[in-house]
């Protein structure tokens, strides 16, 4: 027995019919497998006798059928996800000389690595940062000192950028801050700064630079979020909240681009790194063996960001891939969610206790 599910997609497939079957309809019997083996007999005859015997075994046949069905379903899922991320549209060819990348927080850490990698590809890059670079910029990179949490500052520098370089076609909202301290200990000024840089600046930058992308129906907005978008830890609650907001911003922006602004070819990517060895987490990396969680280099994250840009693909990237299970934590039973959060927070708490003991010994 079968039935059909019809749904509408824009631009490429006005009507796509996907047919679903009951599990019993999809069961591959030994008869089906044997029929297939008859067509592949010449190839099978070249195999060693033990391998031929194994392939004729009904249990082995069902196992192979199950593995094949899983791999086919996985490939179909990946294909449909890629199409959905691209809004069912096709990219034009990437032309480096026609693109202009605007990067916030590009004078250190992840941003600096992204700038270096893109400039080597011949891409023009503009850095907006409150901190001036302490290194020589490549010839195709420009820097403007800007407070990205202030709309007047952004408007002023935007005017200069348009006059000297044109409209940016790629916006990387990379700038971020993080402060340590529990909810009761952290000063209000630091909490506000965390949200202004990690969340509010995304709104201000997009409000200024997205209209030109919408008009051209071409561009890319990259949001650098964090694994903290999925798992909240103690002593960094404000940071976690700001990165949950960054993810929601990315998701909502996708909806508006497609359904409000009719600009489905403007790409959107969100990047979720775990710990990255940057100045922002020096307080953690200085603890050596006391900090137990995996730490990546900025290069790993920069590679992922540049790949999204150069291939003009939308997507959601979790790094490292081995930790991608974090994205489904909130779908787990509550007791299991708490176990994950307790494990992660526990590492931070143990590190703090070790740090306090070391300070006590010093004094």
Catalytic machinery residues: 239, 243
DSSP 251-281: HHHHHIIIIIS--TTEEEEEEEE-EE-SGGG
Unique residue bearing structure tokens 């007047």? 152
Helix (H) or strand (E) holding 318: strand 315-319
User: Tokens representing 352?
Assistant: 């703090």
CA–CA distances in Å: residue 268 to residues 114, 220, 264, 307: 17, 5, 10, 13
Neighbours of 247 (CB within 10 A): 19
Helix (H) or strand (E) holding 171: strand 170-173
The answer to whether the beta carbons of residues 305 and 222 sit under 8 Å apart is yes
- Helical H runs in the chain? 30-39, 41-45, 49-56, 58-85, 109-120, 151-164, 188-195, 201-216, 237-255, 282-285, 298-311, 334-362
Output phi, psi for 141, to 5 deg: -125, 135
């Amino acid at each position: 027995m079968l039935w059909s599910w019809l749904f509408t997609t824009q631009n490429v497939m006005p009507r796509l019919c996907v047919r679903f079957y009951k599990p019993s309809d999809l069961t591959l019997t030994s008869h089906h497998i044997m029929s297939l083996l008859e067509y592949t007999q010449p190839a099978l005859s070249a195999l060693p006798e033990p391998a031929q015997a194994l392939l004729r075994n009904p249990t082995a046949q069902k196992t192979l059928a199950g593995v094949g069905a899983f791999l086919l379903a996985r490939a179909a899922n990946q294909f449909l996800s890629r199409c959905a991320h691209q809004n069912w549209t096709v990219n034009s060819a990437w032309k480096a000389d026609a693109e202009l990348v605007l990067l916030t927080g590009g004078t250190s850490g992840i941003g600096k690595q992204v700038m270096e990698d893109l400039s080597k590809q011949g891409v023009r890059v503009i850095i907006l940062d409150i901190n001036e670079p302490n290194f020589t910029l490549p010839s195709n990179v420009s820097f403007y000192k800007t407070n990205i949490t202030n709309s007047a500052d952004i408007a002023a520098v935007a005017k200069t950028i348009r006059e000297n370089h044109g409209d940016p076609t790629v916006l990387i909202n990379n700038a971020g801050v993080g402060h340590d301290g529990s909810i009761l200990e952290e000063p209000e000024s630091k909490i506000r700064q965390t949200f202004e840089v990690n969340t509010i600046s995304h709104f201000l930058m997009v409000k200024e630079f997205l209209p030109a992308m919408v008009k051209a129906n071409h561009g890319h907005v990259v949001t650098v979020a964090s694994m903290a978008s999925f798992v909240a830890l103690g002593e960094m609650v404000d940071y976690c909240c700001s990165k949950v907001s960054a993810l929601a911003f990315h998701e909502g922006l996708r909806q508006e681009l497609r359904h409000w602004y009719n600009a489905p070819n403007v790409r959107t990517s969100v990047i979720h790194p775990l710990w990255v060895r940057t100045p922002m987490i020096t307080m953690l990396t200085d603890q050596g063996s006391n900090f137990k969680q995996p730490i990546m280099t900025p290069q790993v994250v920069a590679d992922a960001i540049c790949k999204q840009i150069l291939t003009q693909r939308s997507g959601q990237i979790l790094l490292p891939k081995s930790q991608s299970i974090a994205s489904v934590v909130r779908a787990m039973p509550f007791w299991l969610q708490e176990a994950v959060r307790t494990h992660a927070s526990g590492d931070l708490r143990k590190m703090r206790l070790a740090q306090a003991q070391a300070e006590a010994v010093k004094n």
